[in-house]
Amino acid sequence: MGHGTDGMIPTVASEPAVDAVARTMHALATPSRVHLLLRLRTGPRTVGELVDDVGMEQSAVSHQLRVLRHLGLVVGDRDGRQIRYRLHDDHVAQLLDEAVFHVEHLTSGLTDTPGLTDA
């Protein structure tokens, strides 16, 4: 059972929502950001720790963290001269888990030619 639109089916789903979905899902459309988010899902980490975890440069990590910040997915708290990042709330963690879950359970029935179930 899914939450969300229980019962009522979105006949067309408001147009504005379309852009909002695309914009937010954009955060999960890049390996580097997914990597960072999954890392933060295990708990708060400083930028330096994240740099060590994923194989990215400090600048790249900072840039991506800014993107995630603007999307409201992560929050940074200053601790001394370093900044500790964390997922914004459980909502984000849940979204992450579901993304991973769905991907791992996608019936891989890829199709190359339309009109056929497989080819």
Partner DNA sequence: CACACCTATGAACGCTCGTTCATACTTTCA
Partner DNA sequence: TGAAAGTATGAACGAGCGTTCATAGGTGTG
Task: List residues near its own copies by CB under 8 A.
Answer: 1-5, 9-13, 17-22, 24-26, 28-31, 33-35, 38-39, 41-42, 65-66, 69-72, 75-78, 83, 85, 88-89, 91, 94-95, 97-112, 114-117
Q: Which does 40 bind (CB under 5 to 8 A by kind): DNA, its own copies, none?
A: none
Dist CA 73 CA 26 (whole Å)? 12
- Site for DNA contains 81 (CB under 7 A): yes
- Site for DNA contains 117 (CB under 7 A): no
Closest CA to 93 of 28, 22, 49, 19: 28
Strand extents, DSSP E, the chain: 45-46, 74-79, 82-87
Query: What part of residues 18-77 is at the interface with DNA (CB under 7 A)?
Result: 26, 29-33, 46-48, 51, 56-67, 76
At its nearest, how many Å lie between its own copies and the CB of residue 40?
11
Dist CA 45 CA 83 (whole Å)? 8
At its nearest, how many Å lie between DNA and the CB of residue 38?
14
Dist CA 19 CA 60 (whole Å)? 26
Question: Are the C-beta atoms of residues 37 and 74 closer than 8 Å to each other?
Answer: yes
